[in-house]
Structure 1
Amino acid sequence: MIATFVIPFYGENIGGGAETHCRRLVENLSFRGIETEVLTTTLRDLGTHWNSHYHNPGIYSINGVTVRRFSPRLVDTDVFVPINEKLMARQKISFEEEVFFTENAINSDELFAFIGDNQKDRIYFFMPYCFGTSWNGTRVAPWKSFLIPCLHDEGYADMIQTRRMFDRASGVLFNSAAEMSLAMEKYDGLKMTEVMLMGEGVDEVGTAYPEKFRKTYGLGDKPFIVYVGRRDVTKNTPFLVECFAKYKKNNPSSQLKLILMGSGSVQVPASVMEDTLDLGFVTEQVKRDAISASTALCQPSVMESFSIVIMESWRLGRPVLVHSACGPTSDHARASGGGFIFGDFAEFEDAVNRLLADSSTASEMGKRGQEYVEQNYSWGVICRRFKKLIESCGELVF
């Protein structure tokens, strides 16, 4: 039985939680002897124009995994963009608009044909939910299709087309209990499909050099909060910057700094420009060094289905700050005791002050986070769950 993963973008050195999750999952399954393949498009990533091909169609081998790249349909941006803007604003759209949207949200007729022609001895895992490769790919052989949605509470999740996709898949695999609860609430208990809580695997981290990072960027012994991820409204980065600016205003003698890493951009007020270091997209080594040197990592996003970066922070022994409006990250923080939860500036300020007042608080939280990740999200644990599912499918005749 070949575990075949379908995703619009795939490769190394591309951003995106779902893309990273998919790549590391198939690599770890392959390493443990499970036959895996990936079906994807010739597009590079989410941020590159979807009518601009980056890769050539064909069969590739990436870290021992067979990757089949297919040409996507052209996207009618005149149709897609205005509907997407409505969905992002949580405005209601018609079913006709839903159809236009899903038909222009990255589809590949060649990829769909491959699924139709290759059903024997294969099962298909579609991720994430909000692309045509999943909306329309699950239609080809729904009885052999499992959805790994990476679901957020957003406009795309409210679509009729999304509800129907969840219902037709043979199973829906969730990264966190909060994500599963959100889906059960939205889709009438998911009575038409099998529901499984799988989790995400978290890599062991390599050696980190916190002192090197501090020396390189002239930080000395100054405390700092680090943010790692895409900088935009959907990730709530402006709210973090706003909280930081208010904190510095309320605490003018504080030496606290904010370090930003990742793609995209965010407007930083002039009042805190000198205390904010924007490093853009950095190497894994620099990311590890920064997190290990930090007072804490902040994940302000309210739309996460898991959040690998907070797990990475715990792997490195550092606490996290997460937003109370995000169920998965808040659940992780509560279950682990590895961080603080905030929903407004007052709670942000209180959490930062507590971390700065006693360094042992941060160390103890980081240690609890480490133990939580190892017990629940090591690759050995996650791959055993997937192996059991894949082997059980091999015993079925379908």
Structure 2
Amino acid sequence: MKKEKVAFVVVRYGKNINGGAEYHCQMLAERLVSDYEVEVLTTCVRDVATGENIYPEGEEEWNGVVIRRFRTNPVQREKERYFAKKAKPARKLRQFLFKLGILKYLSYLIPVWTYKNDDEVQAMKSDKFYSSTLNDYIRDHIDEYKAFIAMSSDYVTFYYTALYAGSKTIAIPTMHNMGISFRSVLTYAFSKIFYVGFNTGEEQKLAENILGKALGPHGILSVGIEEPLSADWEATKSKFQLPDEYLLYIGRITPKKIHCLLSYFVNYKKKYSDSSLKLVLVGGLAMERFEHPDIVYTGFVSDEEKMSILQHAEVVVNPSRYESLSLILLEAMNQKKPMLVNGHCKVLKEHCLKSDFASFYYLNGSDFNRALYRIEQSEALRREMGEKGKLYVEENYSWPLIIGRLRKAIELN
């Protein structure tokens, strides 16, 4: 019996692609190949910054998944900025009503917003990921697929998948409390989608409060984690000149992501001069390098090197204010590493509470100092947090559980 076809829709996909939504998509897609004929519909773009068509248009197969690539339309940056600016009042109004706590209730009167819709659509049509040929393919081939799985509500591909195949679309929005989530067009998109799968309870609450009645059937899908092989520690340590004891950050190194972390850590070292911790930053440097004797930059590392560095960290930190899940938190917990996270991010704080504090959260520099010093000074506490974290991941993020939920959502249609 021939397998039914399922298509993931994401802006980028492939061997040399790094990105949260893209990696999330890959992990899910490759685990469905035993049950479905799995495809990924994507663009020819490789670099998010340029939006240039680099990959050839057409089909290729990778790890059992058929990748169909479509060229994006010419980027019109000035036009996009013009219409995004014209559309901004809608986002601002919806954000204001959200902050007042009434946006959800207003949706029972106005479930689908049309205010500034035309401007938002024009902005999307000028976006670097807009592909009219990809949209046409979804519209013309909808009957060939059991389901379309649209990744990340931030992207133009999400809207057009909902527009042309909403009745067969499972959305994985990875939504954040940011301006882009308050666009009027999203109320229309979500009203068309037959099922929405969230990463966490906090993300689900956020969407319920933003979308209200426009949000149809939904629940928690989430994602599991990969466990790549670990590189030789001594070789890795020598290659990157790593210290014996360190606080670890893994991710893009930008002012927006780590500015507070840098200042908090420097102040921590001043306050606790007896601390032997150094800060190791793993990832691409996209800012001016901040020089400090206790801060180590590795640049990009392989998956195996990353795992080795993670396994030998004392503590792992995620300073982000915006997360819909945090794979690095789950990876660290799975390796029995204590976590320190930004408590202003409700998703990260939820992980702390649900894991019985396998992770500590901070709200300011003083909190950061207290929490980190407490963890650094107690091996017993680190061991206790590690055991709690491992149990939390096993009970909530195992692949059989995650893929079982996704299969069930697909078969709902």
Q: Tell me if both proteins adopt one fold, taking TM over 0.5 as the criterion.
A: yes
Once residues 241 and 83 of structure 1 are traced to their aligned partners in structure 2, the CA distance between those partners, rounded to angstroms, is 37
| Cα pair 1:40 1:69 within 8 Å, conserved | yes
Once residues 132 and 218 of structure 1 are traced to their aligned partners in structure 2, the CA distance between those partners, rounded to angstroms, is 42
Once residues 262 and 386 of structure 2 are traced to their aligned partners in structure 1, the CA distance between those partners, rounded to angstroms, is 23
Query: Structure 1 stretches of 5 or more lacking a match?
Result: 394-398
**How many residue pairs were aligned?**
385
The equivalent of 1:277 in structure 2 is 296
The equivalent of 2:124 in structure 1 is 102
| Cα pair 2:195 2:409 within 8 Å, conserved | no
Give 1:263 shift: 2.5
Q: Does 1:240 align with 2:261?
A: yes
The equivalent of 1:347 in structure 2 is 367
Once residues 205 and 378 of structure 1 are traced to their aligned partners in structure 2, the CA distance between those partners, rounded to angstroms, is 15
The amino acid across from 2:247 in the alignment is I
User: Given the superposition, is the C-alpha separation of residues 137 and 64 from structure 1 closer, same or farther in structure 2, using an over 3 Å criterion?
Assistant: same
Match runs of 1:196-275 below 5 Å: 196-207=219-230, 209-210=232-233, 212-221=235-244, 223-234=245-256, 236-267=257-288, 269-270=290-291, 273-275=292-294
Summarize deviations over 1:209-240 as a string: whole Å, max 9, x none.
5555444444453x211111122245x32111
Q: Which moved more, 1:204-213 or 1:310-319?
A: 204-213
The equivalent of 1:169 in structure 2 is 193
Q: Does 1:385 align with 2:405?
A: yes
| Cα pair 1:5 1:39 within 8 Å, conserved | yes
Q: Does 1:34 align with 2:69?
A: no
The amino acid across from 2:9 in the alignment is V
Once residues 372 and 82 of structure 1 are traced to their aligned partners in structure 2, the CA distance between those partners, rounded to angstroms, is 46
The equivalent of 1:138 in structure 2 is 162
> Which of 335, 341, 354 is the aligned partner of 1:322?
341
Match runs of 1:353-372 below 5 Å: 353-372=373-392
Once residues 54 and 383 of structure 2 are traced to their aligned partners in structure 1, the CA distance between those partners, rounded to angstroms, is 44
The equivalent of 2:330 in structure 1 is 311
The equivalent of 1:61 in structure 2 is 61
| Cα pair 1:156 1:162 within 8 Å, conserved | no
Once residues 301 and 279 of structure 2 are traced to their aligned partners in structure 1, the CA distance between those partners, rounded to angstroms, is 16
Once residues 240 and 69 of structure 1 are traced to their aligned partners in structure 2, the CA distance between those partners, rounded to angstroms, is 39
Summarize deviations over 1:326-372 as a string: whole Å, max 9, x none.
12221112211311111111111111101111122112212211111
Once residues 282 and 85 of structure 2 are traced to their aligned partners in structure 1, the CA distance between those partners, rounded to angstroms, is 26
3-state SS, counterpart of residue 67 of structure 2: strand
TM-score (norm 1): 0.90
> Which of 38, 45, 48 is the aligned partner of 1:46?
48
The equivalent of 2:96 in structure 1 is none
Give 1:287 shift: 0.8
Percent of paired sites with the same residue: 29
3-state SS, counterpart of residue 37 of structure 1: strand
The equivalent of 1:296 in structure 2 is 315
Give 1:100 shift: 2.9
Give 1:174 shift: 0.6
Once residues 358 and 76 of structure 1 are traced to their aligned partners in structure 2, the CA distance between those partners, rounded to angstroms, is 55
| Cα pair 2:240 2:298 within 8 Å, conserved | no
Summarize deviations over 1:257-303 as a string: whole Å, max 9, x none.
11111224244544xx2211111221111111111111111111111
User: Given the superposition, is the C-alpha separation of residues 352 and 211 from structure 1 closer, same or farther in structure 2, using an over 3 Å criterion?
Assistant: farther
Once residues 206 and 334 of structure 1 are traced to their aligned partners in structure 2, the CA distance between those partners, rounded to angstroms, is 30
| Cα pair 1:9 1:19 within 8 Å, conserved | yes
Once residues 364 and 330 of structure 2 are traced to their aligned partners in structure 1, the CA distance between those partners, rounded to angstroms, is 23
3-state SS, counterpart of residue 330 of structure 1: helix
Query: Structure 2 stretches of 5 or more lacking a match?
Result: 94-114
The amino acid across from 1:155 in the alignment is G
CA RMSD of aligned residues (A): 2.4
The equivalent of 1:16 in structure 2 is 19
| Cα pair 1:86 1:92 within 8 Å, conserved | no
User: Given the superposition, is the C-alpha separation of residues 84 and 279 from structure 1 closer, same or farther in structure 2, using an over 3 Å criterion?
Assistant: farther
Give 1:45 shift: 3.7
